[in-house]
Amino acid sequence: MLALERLRGLRVVADPAALDAARWDGDPAEPVVLRFAPDDAFGLGARAVKVDDEHAIMEPEVGFVGAWLSPAALDDVLSRTEWPLPAARPALAQGLIAGVPAKLWLPTEGDALLLTAAAHADELGMRLR
Amino acid sequence: MTDRAAVAPGNAVGGRIVVDGQPIDFGPGDSVAIAVVRVGEVPARGGTLCLAGDCGNCVAQVDGMAWVRTCQTAARPGLTVVRHPADGLPTLPVTGSPDVTAVPVEREIAVRRVHVDVAIVGGGSSGRAAAAAAERDGKKVLVLDASAGEDVVAVYAGPTLIVRTPDGMLHVEPHETVIATGAAEIHPVCPGSGLAGLLTARAAERLHAAGIDLPDAVAIGTPPEGVPCTRVEGRLVRFEGADGRVMAVVTADSVGVETTTPCSTVLLGLGRAPRDLLARMAGAVPLRVAGSAAEEHPLPPPTTTGIVCPCSGATVDDLQVAWDKGFQELELLKRATLACLGTCQGGACLPHVRSWIAARTGEVPAPFTARPAARQITMAEAAADTWVDAFRRTPLHDEHLALGAQMDRFGGWWRPWHYGDPVAEYWAVREAVSLGDVSTLGKLVVSGPDVVEALERLYPCHVADIKTGRSRYALLLNERGHVMDDGMIVRDAETRFVLTFTSSGAANAEMWIRDWIDTWGLRVHILDRTMSLAAINVTGPLAGTLLSRAGLTEVPRFLGHVRAEVAGVPCHVMRLSFTGEASFELHHPVDRSVELWRALKDLGRDLGIRPHGLQALQALRLEKGHVIIGMDTELDSTPRRLGMDFAVRMDKPWFVGRTSLERTAKLPDHRRLHGFTMSGPAPMDGSPIRSGGEIVGHVTGSWASPLLGHVVLLGWQKRAPFVDRVEIDGREALVSATPFYDPEGARARA
């Protein structure tokens, strides 16, 4: 069973240009920022962020769970995935995995991160067992 | 890099399989069909064997599975085969009386998915050449070879190739697809073509290579290479035989003089046709067809008599009868005669049918589109790796289970239907305090300089006058003025709101709102918090008491909201009411939900607290006459039909749906959702509502209210003029104003 653990950080929706220039702070000092959409970012482990957009929505985010995947574990997950991975790195890929909405963070090097909403955690874990 | 599944075409050492209850030997590399021929039998019935998977003349039941092509099935020790030589059609295995209520037990079919640059279907010379060329370009290549047990059964958009292998199903997602399946051999159509002992030339070569002698063999057309046989000249007229086996072949010369040649086996080199079934299945899926599969091959001469389609048994006479009735196109002729509709989808008969039509019209019809599956597959194989929608779980899922909840799926979520005693849950809400898990409600945060303008356009109620700290119930309409969803508009700040939606409508509402805001080009940010925030509804006359105990010092008044800590958990507290009692929705981070739930339960122990499920909630809302979108409503329900005009402000200059509402307001209406009361037990949801013996509508929800002492229900009248008395379940029901309970709303505001 895939061990999916809660991910914590900050979620920010703001003008894309302001998000591009956002300054994140947290643990680690420069958190991994997952860009879900041009105007939507999730700073993993982020505790604070400065964004030049007075209407930006900034909320603590605890609604996702995830697991870091070795290359072999990633291959196993991809065997349940209909879509191909993007060639570029780093990249955030999003789609159904074993029929469950999920995301894959593919860094330039090292393990990949599988994310899904906490509400889907049990279902995804069961389907990927 | 070439990635080939490691599938051996046959057992390496040989052994024994069981055919019709009798063990027979097979040799190394034998298919089931070759093993059967090796002992002097035929795998299914007579008819020409191609041993290449193109026809249906070798299908049998293998290991309990019907319609298996034995020529494509590797023999392995212990494999059981059941033939049906009488008609060649294996029956489906049914033992005893099937229990139709039982959960079907299917083998779990393993599924692998692979993503490659190039998928090549066919391992022959063309396929190998295509693979080599792609590999030279540095591409990741996968060759799928039917002779290696990799049977491509379908090509879908994507593209996705569905492949059956001995190890389970393989779903291939290639960037490029090459169909290099080669060519199939033409089958004979003439009297006697159903006899045993007929082989295509390449089938003969395969048997010869497997060490099987073909005694008294004669060859017609292009003879097989390396197979001892006597060549017979002339046009094929018919086969003659006895006991189902061929004994002679009759040919004719150019002037029609017939010659009979005795034989035990006939080897047929009658030409070839592209094996392009997968290419014809692809439709708009981009792919390349290579080699013989892409070539034009001469059609066989038009047939004059005999069975055209060995699968369906359609004859040349059947073609003529249908033709004379006007079915004079390939697609029509196919449907009228069932030719080309058998297990091989025209693999054996399509060239003959095209040739037969061409002889009558002067034009060769294009081959028809092929359909998945190219091979018979089981339901389990077809459904492998197909998942039902993922139903979400709230963070309180395990708490509900621990409390004995009966869980069910509603609106895309697992939700508690009841905790064992829905009536007690109902009374807890009416007389004490109760907790409901409403984490499933949709929750959007919207913010931006144009947010008020956007919401004014999206909603039929006024928005600008909602004060910070206040909220308003709102409908969401489509352009036709039909109700899509409902929820609350909660004002957080001058340019920031929280919008809530129904559990089942939330995802659609979010897309709807994003789409309109994009269309209008308004500056509004949107963040969906549905799965990041949980929500607990604290409801009942003692709800305020409970929340005070939990540390809520500022209890918001009706339709107000505050941000405060409750039992140490940061909450957005919204006061509203769906149950008819004082209600507070506590929106909070999902990771604190269990902590909050347990604290509220502990603090309310002496207040008679208990959780309520959806069954009690249905009862509570019915007493208030509250409509549930999607349950009481239909796709074309307008606010007027629902009696919800109070939520629409036609004094606004424009909102989505206004134009339609303005137009339809002038038209007579024949549908209305009514409240009804009646005595006796509550009718079932969906029960017909009758007037004068005619069905005029149906019940959408009902409840025998212990508090009111009678049944309350919502239901449709769909015939004008609307009447005040109807009949439901043979009893009288009266149209009654809603709310049935606390019509002044005093309890909700208390």
DSSP string, B493-527: ETTEEEEEE-TTTHHHHHHHHHHHHHHHT---EEE
Q: Are A105 and A112 in contact (CB under 8 A)?
A: yes
Q: Closest partner residue to B526 among A6, A13, A99, by Cβ?
A: A13
Does pLDDT of B91 surpass 60?
no
Helix (H, G, I), strand (E, B) or coil at B725: strand
> Do A50 and A70 belong to one domain?
no
Residue B6 is predicted with a pLDDT of 31
Q: Are B578 and B618 in contact (CB under 8 A)?
A: no
- Cα B71 to Cα B43, B337, B345, B388: the distances in Å are 9, 27, 17, 35
Measure the CA angle with vertex B536, ends B532 and B541; round to 5°.
Answer: 160
Q: Which tens digits make up the pLDDT trace of A9-59? A: 999 999 999 999 999 998 788 899 999 999 999 999 999 999 999 999 999
Predicted model pTM: 0.77
Strand partners, B173: B115
> Do B202 and B128 belong to one domain?
no
Please give the structure tokens belonging to residue B616.
């009690």
Q: Closest partner residue to B390 among A6, A84, A100, by Cβ?
A: A100
> Do B141 and B277 belong to one domain?
yes
Measured between CA atoms, how close is B447 to chain A, in angstroms?
6
Does pLDDT of B5 surpass 50?
no
Number of domain units in chain A: 2
> Do A11 and A46 belong to one domain?
yes
> Do A34 and A75 belong to one domain?
no
Q: Are B432 and B541 in contact (CB under 8 A)?
A: yes
Preferred mutation among A15, A94, A123, A129 to probe B, highest tally of B CBs within 10 A: A123
Please give the structure tokens belonging to residue B718.
């769909």
Residue B7 is predicted with a pLDDT of 31
- Cα A106 to Cα A64, A114, A128, B47, B114: the distances in Å are 17, 9, 19, 57, 18
Q: Are B590 and B533 in contact (CB under 8 A)?
A: yes
Cβ–Cβ contact A120 with B under 8 A: yes
> Do A30 and A78 belong to one domain?
no
> Residues 6 or more apart from B35 whose CB is under 8 A from it?
B17, B24, B25, B26, B27, B75
State the Cα torsion B618-B624-B630-B632 to the nearest 10°.
100
List the domain range (segments joined by +) for residue A26. 5-62
Preferred mutation among A13, A40, A78, A120 to probe B, highest tally of B CBs within 10 A: A13
> Do B235 and B148 belong to one domain?
no
d(Cα B74, Cα B517) in Å, to the nearest integer?
A: 60
Asked which of A62, A83, A107 is the last residue of a domain, the reply is: A62
Q: Which of A104-118, B281-295, B505-519 has the lowest mean pLDDT?
A: B281-295
| Residue B392 to residue A55, Cβ atoms within 8 A | no
> Do A57 and A70 belong to one domain?
no
Measured between CA atoms, how close is A115 to chain B, in angstroms?
13
> Do B344 and B456 belong to one domain?
no
Percent of chain B exceeding pLDDT 90 equals: 83
Residue range B521-526: average pLDDT? 98
Q: Are A43 and A26 in contact (CB under 8 A)?
A: yes
Question: Is position B203 within any domain?
Answer: yes
Listed by number, the residues of chain A in 8-47 with a beta carbon closer than 8 Å to a beta carbon of chain B are 11, 13-14, 39-40
Q: Which tens digits make up the pLDDT trace of B541-550? A: 999 999 999 9
> Do B290 and B304 belong to one domain?
no
> Do A69 and A19 belong to one domain?
no
CB neighbours of residue B647 within 10 Å = 17
Does pLDDT of B94 surpass 80?
no
CB neighbours of residue B686 within 10 Å = 10
d(Cα B649, Cα B474) in Å, to the nearest integer?
A: 11
Helix (H, G, I), strand (E, B) or coil at B378: coil
Q: Which of B96-105, B595-604, B650-659 has the lowest mean pLDDT?
A: B96-105
Asked which of B529, B564, B598 is the last residue of a domain, the reply is: B529
Q: Residue B163: list chain A partners with CB under 8 A.
A: none
Alpha helices in B432-501 (DSSP H): 451-458
d(Cα B274, Cα B187) in Å, to the nearest integer?
A: 13
Strand partners, B678: B711, B733
CB neighbours of residue B38 within 10 Å = 19
> Do B679 and B750 belong to one domain?
yes
Please enumerate residues of B whose Cβ is less than 8 A from a Cβ of A.
111-115, 158, 160, 171, 173, 175, 385-395, 397, 413, 445, 447-449, 495-496, 523, 525-527, 529, 531-533, 589-591
> Do B197 and B210 belong to one domain?
yes
Residue B92 is predicted with a pLDDT of 52
**B579 or B89, which is more confident:** B579
> Do A69 and A116 belong to one domain?
yes
> Do B344 and B215 belong to one domain?
no
d(Cα A127, Cα B18) in Å, to the nearest integer?
A: 37
Strands A40-44 and A5-13: antiparallel
Question: Is position B242 within any domain?
Answer: yes
> Do B60 and B162 belong to one domain?
no
Measured between CA atoms, how close is A123 to chain B, in angstroms?
7
Question: Is position B675 within any domain?
Answer: yes
Question: Is position B479 within any domain?
Answer: yes
> Do A32 and A76 belong to one domain?
no
Residue B108 is predicted with a pLDDT of 72
Residue B100 is predicted with a pLDDT of 55
> Do A87 and A43 belong to one domain?
no
Q: Closest partner residue to B532 among A63, A80, A120, by Cβ?
A: A63
Asked which of B499, B529, B559 is the last residue of a domain, the reply is: B529
Asked which of A40, A62, A84 is the last residue of a domain, the reply is: A62
Question: Is position B12 within any domain?
Answer: yes
Q: Which tens digits make up the pLDDT trace of B310-347? A: 888 999 999 999 999 999 999 999 999 999 998 888 98
Alpha helices in B384-505 (DSSP H): 397-402, 422-431, 451-458
Quick one: pLDDT band at residue B11, thresholds 50, 70, 90? low
Residue A22 is predicted with a pLDDT of 97
Q: Residue A61: list chain B partners with CB under 8 A.
A: 532
Preferred mutation among A4, A19, A57, A127 to probe B, highest tally of B CBs within 10 A: A57
> Do A30 and A72 belong to one domain?
no
Does pLDDT of B426 surpass 60?
yes
Does pLDDT of B156 surpass 60?
yes
Half-sphere exposure of B222 (CA within 13 A, CB side): 12
Residue range B368-395: average pLDDT? 88
Residue B1 is predicted with a pLDDT of 37
Angle, nearest 10°, between helix axes B422-431 and B614-624? Answer: 50
Cβ–Cβ contact A56 with B under 8 A: yes
Does pLDDT of A65 surpass 70?
yes
ipTM exceeding cut-off 0.90 for this assembly: yes
Nearest CA in chain A to B112: A79
Question: Is position B547 within any domain?
Answer: no
Does pLDDT of B620 surpass 90?
yes
Domain holding B37: CATH number?
A: 3.10.20.30
Selection from B61-75, B80-94, B339-353 with the highest mean pLDDT = B339-353
Residue range B627-640: average pLDDT? 96
> Do B64 and B204 belong to one domain?
no
Q: What's the whole-number average pLDDT of chain B?
A: 93
Residue B87 is predicted with a pLDDT of 54
Domain holding B737: CATH number?
A: 2.40.30.110
CB neighbours of residue B331 within 10 Å = 12
> Do B116 and B162 belong to one domain?
yes
Measured between CA atoms, how close is B716 to chain A, in angstroms?
36
> Do A53 and A74 belong to one domain?
no
Q: Are B169 and B163 in contact (CB under 8 A)?
A: yes
Residue B459 is predicted with a pLDDT of 98
- Cα B85 to Cα B25, B57, B199, B586, B635: the distances in Å are 20, 11, 17, 72, 56
Does pLDDT of B559 surpass 80?
yes
Quick one: pLDDT band at residue B64, thresholds 50, 70, 90? confident
Tell which residue, B686, B688, B736, B687, has the closest CA to residue B710: B736
d(Cα B359, Cα A129) in Å, to the nearest integer?
A: 60
> Do B457 and B522 belong to one domain?
yes
Strands B288-289 and B168-179: parallel
Strand partners, A103: A94, A115
Strands B141-144 and B111-121: parallel
d(Cα B491, Cα B445) in Å, to the nearest integer?
A: 10
Tell which residue, B335, B337, B368, B336, has the closest CA to residue B351: B368
Residue A59 is predicted with a pLDDT of 97
Q: Which of B155-159, B455-459, B641-645 has the lowest mean pLDDT?
A: B155-159
Q: Which tens digits make up the pLDDT trace of B655-710? A: 999 999 999 999 998 999 999 999 999 999 999 999 999 999 999 999 999 999 99
The end-to-end CA distance of chain A, in Å, is 5
List the domain range (segments joined by +) for residue B673. 668-750
Measured between CA atoms, how close is A81 to chain B, in angstroms?
7
> Do A117 and A70 belong to one domain?
yes
Question: Is position B418 within any domain?
Answer: no
Q: Residue A40: list chain B partners with CB under 8 A.
A: 527
Q: Residue B112: list chain A partners with CB under 8 A.
A: 79
Cβ–Cβ contact A5 with B under 8 A: no
Quick one: pLDDT band at residue B234, thresholds 50, 70, 90? very high
Does pLDDT of B491 surpass 60?
yes
Question: Is position B105 within any domain?
Answer: no
